Chain A
Amino acid sequence: MNFKAVLSNTQPQVEVMTSDADEVTGYRSFRLGGFEFLRDEYFARISWPAKGTRISHVMPVDAFLRAIMRDVAWGFFYGWVNFDAVVGTRNLYGRVELFGGRYYAPMKSAGLDCTETFDSPVIMATFKAILFDWVNAGFDPFAAPEETGKTVYGVKKGSNLEAIERYRVPTKRMPGMAGDSPLRSDASGFPVNRQFTDVPQDEPEVKAEPGFEKELHAFNLFKYLSRSDVTWNPSVTAVCNASLACPTTEEYILPIVHGNDRVEWFVQLSDEITWDVQDKETGALRARITMKAGDVAAMPADIKHQGYSPKRSMLFVWENATPGLPQLYESGKLKPYPVEF
């Protein structure tokens, strides 16, 4: 396949290696280092060089697009974003590893794995270009399967920039405060989700004395979450130094397997999620944790996890954004679990 360099429409502008559109399907292919990405009507095909040949991997294209969408939206997140058992990324904060087979024992032991490291803007631009080209009109990779069309399959049919370019104002302290991220309402384009129509929409009563109107603040967190238009995509709702409240609404399957580079905590606010917890290196199942409303659990720093939410649920994800934590856990200076008792 022939690839040519085109300038990205991301900032900073970088070169993205892309092919001409396929004559039959209409989709372009992409190259990043030694990795190549190709899609057809049903599948994403990822390949990389190993032992003088190319190793290929196939994913259902909807699963691939949901996964790469999260990687882009989360800015490669904390640690590992495994698209499945074979392919994924690791955030080195400024640089990003792209791997194939690195954590899949049969490929790793046969020497058929590949890991390459890229500057974050380069891999981000390539991933965004893939989304731009491969997401058809009518398919929203952030939506639950029941909420979006089946136009993800088949030959190229337009695009869905509105879905893949959602932008969120970062929260500095708490949504709704002056100069901070906005609350959600019908008027701002965030209606109540179909699975949360029974969530009360009342707001807390705030009575501020004169002069303190901007210092007292409260909002209905459950209302805010009931109006989330995406699944498995956290929003920051409280900032206590480096302690970030990142609640989110979940339905169906977490599209990636998240490998932790620090301890992460979950508080189940509503309904139920089952988590498969695997060894981060081997993928061997370690535990299955079923969390109901009010449950609190830690995800240790040496695991990866994937969640299953049979109904749209509210999950309070709690992160510690202190710089340097990955190195402290990786060096063994911090134990992978948060508490000893």
Chain B
Amino acid sequence: MAQSHPTVFASLADWKKGHAEIISGNVKHYVFSNMFDVASRSKPYEKVVVGKNLEYVMETLRAEGASPWYGAGHDEFAVCMDGEVEVRFIKLEAPAAPAGKNGAVLVKGEPQGRKMGTVRLKRGHQALLPAGCAYQFKAHKTGVLMLQTMLGELSVEKWSDICEK
């Protein structure tokens, strides 16, 4: 059976936000944003929270150039929503974050440890960011990353700026 309509993905260069029609209640309760809108107005690698479920978050990052090195005490996951992004990994000799700390932290100085390898992501690709390693993003083509992680010291919450009000 032939495909009737093309699949529509969005990008930094081409996105359209939907809309909310409110019959009763407050539109703010739906915390409605668009990650490409957010990334188009973000600094490179600003970890803007677009979804929050208690201590868990979804972050949108504008992937542009090279990021700092990050590390976390728990697994995180990155989905490339636009662009081409390389991720470099180093197995840290000492954890970047103390045990029990939520969210990613910056790795101080050059990460010390063994090189684990690299992953190169295009649109739709998902990478594991394993607990206990350092990782760095390098965008070969400016794009957007969606990170599934926990609320941490680098997470940026600016709901009034990004959501329907």
Contact = CB atoms under 8 A, between A and B. Distances in A.
Interface of A: 146, 173-174, 177, 194-200, 202-209, 211-212, 215-223, 237-243, 245, 263, 265, 267-272, 277, 284-300, 311, 318-320, 322, 334, 336-341
Contacts of B116: 208-209, 212, 215-216
A310 to B, nearest CB: 8
B121 A218 contact: yes
Contact of A194 (B3, B51, B76, B119): B3
Given A195-B4, A206-B117, A339-B159, A174 B17 contact: no
Contact of A241 (B5, B56, B157): B56
B77 A245 contact: yes
Contact of A293 (B15, B23, B120): B15
B19 to A, nearest CB: 5
A216 B25 contact: no
Nearest to B14: A293
A223 to B, nearest CB: 7
Nearest to A199: B7
Contacts of B17: 292, 294-295
Interface string B119-138: 11111111110100100000
Interface in B13-61: 15-25, 27-37, 50-54, 56, 58
A307 to B, nearest CB: 12
A341 B165 CA distance: 9
A287 B30 contact: yes
A287 B51 contact: no
Contact of A200 (B3, B27, B124, B149): B124
Given A239-B75, A296-B58, A286 B123 contact: no
B79 interface: yes
